[in-house]
Structure 1
Amino acid sequence: MPVLSVEKKRSLNNKDFKNVFEKHYTGVYRLLTCFLSNRATAEDIAQETFLKFYLSPPRELDNVGGWLMRVARNLAYNHLHREKSRAVRESHMELMQITEPELRFEEEEEKDVISQALHSLTERDRICLTLRLSGMSYAEIAQAIEVKETSVGTILARAKERFKVEYLKLKGRDDNVL
């Protein structure tokens, strides 16, 4: 691909943008469609990707395709994270609408047991489990607890096991229940 002309304010001329769009749109769209399993959302995010490229192109233009794929992937992750958060909020709202006192009592009792089990864990285990359940990636968790990303899976597995043991103790159950 010929070197693109970028003006001093780092914007592309329309011809260069059109060339990049025509060359890379299909690949970006295909990646997003596979990643999101939704064509309409993939189209929207592909358009957003190219808008970001048009408004603020990368400093180095020797790997535009890689830059576009990375931006598209990050936008898709952000979309998925927002959708997951929305689903959690909606399910929480549904739980709050339950009016039967007995169910509320059981839920509160269960929350107390879960809270006690969580607080019996080390701070790192508690943070790790909470971050993962809130939808954070291994990379984000690794950064938050200051460990290597490759260690996060092991830390999570051990934290889950310790939580299970504490939870079962508090519920007064045998280890084989879960």
Structure 2
Amino acid sequence: MDHSAPDLFRQQFNQYYPSVRRKLVALIRDEAAAEDLAQETFLRLYRNPPDQPEAIGGWLHRVLTRLAYDYMDKKARERALTQKQEQSMLAQPQEVQSNEQQFIDKDEQEQVRAWLDTLSERDKQLLMLRYEGYSYAEIAQQLQVRQPQVGTMLRRAGERLKRKALKAENAMSHE
């Protein structure tokens, strides 16, 4: 009796899903994330099944383990970044600025805004989102571009802003 691919996948899903999900919950200790990763595991099985169907148990275990470790690494990096940001904020003394320093800071902010206004709307939006602390993924979603493009786009926008600033400084020094 010949099973079609969807029937075989459905059978494998029904047979292995509970144990895959259970192993992921045990590894990452987050039910919702484990559910998502279990679905990702079976999506990978559907898209690229192992060459030897009898080895599916080991194949699923390798995939779920790799996905779990990638997930935990990502969470650890996020926690480290958050801690670093918190420590940085605590390390900076919240000193009272003199009126003169406040005036200089305001003048500098206005100058940067003026330079930003000379950039394209997209460059301006890119730089502002990054300055406000948005991640590359969030910027990509906001601007509807692919995430790998965001770094290059930010670098180029930063370079254009720097050129505008240098051009403005050179124009002021020649006056």
Q: Give the structure-1-normalised TM-score.
A: 0.55
Extract unaligned runs of 5+ from structure 2.
1-14, 43-59
Percent identity, aligned pairs only, is: 25
Aligned partners of 1:150, 1:55: CA distance in 2, in Å? 24
Aligned partners of 1:77, 1:147: CA distance in 2, in Å? 24
Aligned partners of 2:33, 2:135: CA distance in 1, in Å? 29
Q: Which residue of 2 aligns with 1:28?
A: none
Aligned partners of 1:165, 1:72: CA distance in 2, in Å? 41
Q: Which residue of 2 aligns with 1:155?
A: 153
Extract unaligned runs of 5+ from structure 1.
22-48
Q: CA deviation at 1:78?
A: 2.6
Give RMSD over aligned pairs.
3.8
Return the match for 1:51 from 29, 32, 42. Answer: 29
Q: Which residue of 2 aligns with 1:46?
A: none
* Bigger Rg over Cα: 2
Which structure has more relative contact order (CA 8 Å, sep 6+)? It is 1
Bigger helix fraction: 2
Q: Does 1:107 align with 2:85?
A: no
Q: Kindly provide the amino acid, as one letter, of the partner of residue 114 in structure 2.
A: Q
Q: CA deviation at 1:72?
A: 0.7
Corresponding residue SS for 1:67: helix
Q: Describe how 1:27-106 pairs up with structure 2 within 5 A.
A: 50-52=28-30, 56-57=34-35, 58-59=38-39, 60=41, 62=60, 63-86=63-86, 89-90=89-90, 94=93, 97-106=95-104
Q: Give the structure-2-normalised TM-score.
A: 0.56
> Which ranges of 4 or more aligned residues in structure 1 deviate by more than 6 Å?
none
Q: How many residues align?
A: 136
CA deviations on 1:75-133 (whole Å, 9 max, x unpaired) are 12432442354356547x74x52332211111111111112212222221112223334
